[in-house]
């Protein structure tokens, strides 16, 4: 591969960007870090660090993206994925692609395929309901969150709904009785063939693809993906069977026509915003 032309950025220009990114992450994660220190859990913000396994310190680390040379940047010496010559630092594109080239191509294929499909808006968040379908007491993953309708009524909602989950990483948490109710059979191998932009989890996963491909991807894009994922997770929990009122979240009652209409409206907006991020991420990847 021939490396693209690089842009040299003076230290007085890139250092304020790096510090502003660190400050933004500190402000966005302050509540999460304080609750973690107290041993408290939060169903929205904890998800972005527990499920995705990306620590706050990693999110805080600023990357300019490939093709950018940071002048007078000795602090990048020894950082994975970077090369420093004469004090100037940049992503070592050849070295990163040698290690992560297969991941880059898989993400590229997934994003391109997803962008080529229309958004399906008829799932109404039933994936979260299918994860608690017919559970016995003590089997629920989020025991600190009571079911808003109780177990029997929750099961009834699942049984009279169309369950159409296309996302493998959501489907794999379905209870065994719920799996036959799903109209689709997503697998890891079929992810590129099945992912569609209306899926809330596919939108949240853009955050994962951004940090997975660091340092190729600029941190500004990763932070935008984080913010979108956090917004999406709010709807994910509002439309779930859990009572999240203790976290100042109003329920989106998808068991009702009004709740389904609200869910579809917000889902449509997230699909458009996710597609915009997909395009930006594709543009950020090396050709």
The pair of three-digit structure tokens given for residue 197, joined into one six-digit string = 């932009």
pLDDT score, position 6: 79
pLDDT one digit per residue (tens) for the chain, 287 residues: 445 567 899 999 999 999 999 999 999 999 999 998 999 888 888 889 989 988 999 999 999 999 999 999 999 999 999 999 999 999 999 999 999 999 999 999 999 999 999 999 989 999 999 999 999 887 777 777 899 999 999 999 999 999 999 999 999 999 999 999 999 999 999 999 999 999 999 999 999 999 999 999 999 999 999 999 999 999 999 999 999 999 999 999 999 999 999 999 999 999 999 999 999 999 999 98
Q: What is the DSSP letter of 182?
A: B
pLDDT in the model for residue 2: 41
Give the domain ranges of the chain: 7-121+189-284
pTM value is 0.94
The per-residue b/e assignment along 136-175, b for 16 or more CB within 10 angstroms, e otherwise, is: eeeebebeebebbbebeebbebbeebebebbbbbbbeebe
DSSP annotation of 90 reads E
If one counts every other C-beta atom within 10 angstroms of the C-beta of residue 77, the result is 11
Q: How far is CA 257 from CA 109, 160, 245, in A?
A: 36, 13, 21
Residue identified by tokens 């009122």 is 245
Q: Give which of 285, 280, 204, 236 is closest to 1, Cα–Cα.
A: 285
**Residue 216 burial (C-beta neighbours within 10 Å; 0-12, 13-18, 19+):** buried
The pLDDT of residue 5: 65
Which pLDDT score, from 0 to 100, does residue 287 have?
87
């Amino acid at each position: 591969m021939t490396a693209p032309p690089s842009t040299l950025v003076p230290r007085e220009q890139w250092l304020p960007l790096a510090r502003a990114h660190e400050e933004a992450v500190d402000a966005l994660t302050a509540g999460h870090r304080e609750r973690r220190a107290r041993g408290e859990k939060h169903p929205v913000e904890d998800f972005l660090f527990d499920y995705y396994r990306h620590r706050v310190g990693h999110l805080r680390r600023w990357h300019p993206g490939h093709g950018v040379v940071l002048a007078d940047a000795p602090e990048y010496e020894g950082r994975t994925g970077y090369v420093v010559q004469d004090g100037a630092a940049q992503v070592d594109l050849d070295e990163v692609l040698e290690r992560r080239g297969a991941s880059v191509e898989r993400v590229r294929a997934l994003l391109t395929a997803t962008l080529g499909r229309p958004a399906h808006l008829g799932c109404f968040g039933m994936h979260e309901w299918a994860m608690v379908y017919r559970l016995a007491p003590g089997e629920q993953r989020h025991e600190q969150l009571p079911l808003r309708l109780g177990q029997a009524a929750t099961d009834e909602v699942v049984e009279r709904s169309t369950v159409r989950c296309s996302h493998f990483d959501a489907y794999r948490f379905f209870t065994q009785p719920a799996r036959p109710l799903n109209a689709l059979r997503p697998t890891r191998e079929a992810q590129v063939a099945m992912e569609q932009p209306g899926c809330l989890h596919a939108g949240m996963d853009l955050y994962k693809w951004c940090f997975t491909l660091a340092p190729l991807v600029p941190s500004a894009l990763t932070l935008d993906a984080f913010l979108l994922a956090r917004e999406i997770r709010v709807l994910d929990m509002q439309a779930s069977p859990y009572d999240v009122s203790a976290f100042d979240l109003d329920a989106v009652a998808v068991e009702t026509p009004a709740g389904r209409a609200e869910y579809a409206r917000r889902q449509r907006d997230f699909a458009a915003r996710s597609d915009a991020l997909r395009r930006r991420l594709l543009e950020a990847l090396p050709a």
